[in-house]
């Protein structure tokens, strides 16, 4: 998907920025991610503790309004 140049400029989106995409009702909502999202390599086993820590960081960020 290509985001029009005028939209990118208005929002300050640059090449390499990470966007969070979600569906709200019948709309697609995209937001630039200010912090770092947890990533896990495909095929790598992820332990319960890693998942809990990632969820906790996300929850804390949401509660701060981030």
CA distance 20 to 14: 14
pLDDT of residue 66: 58
**Per-residue pLDDT tens over the stretch 5-28:** 998 899 888 888 888 888 999 999
Question: Residue 37: how many CA atoms within 13 Å on its side-chain side?
Answer: 10
Look at residue 23 in the predicted model and tell me its pLDDT.
92
pLDDT at 29 over 70: yes
Beta bridge partners of 28: 23
Asked if residues 55 and 44 have their Cβ atoms less than 8 Å apart, the reply is: no
What are the boundaries of each domain within the chain? 1-33, 39-66
Would you report the helix, strand and coil content of the chain in percent, each value rounded to 5?
Answer: 35, 20, 45
pLDDT for residue 64 is more than 80? no
pTM of the model: 0.45
d(C-alpha 20, C-alpha 28), whole Å: 10
Residues of the chain with pLDDT > 90, as a percent, come to 12
């Amino acid at each position: 998907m290509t985001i029009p140049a005028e939209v990118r400029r208005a929002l300050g989106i640059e090449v390499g920025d990470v966007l969070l995409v979600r569906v709200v009702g019948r709309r697609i909502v995209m937001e630039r991610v200010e912090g770092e999202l947890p990533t896990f390599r495909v095929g790598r086993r992820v332990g319960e503790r890693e998942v809990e820590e990632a969820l906790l960081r996300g929850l804390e960020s949401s509660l701060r309004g981030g």
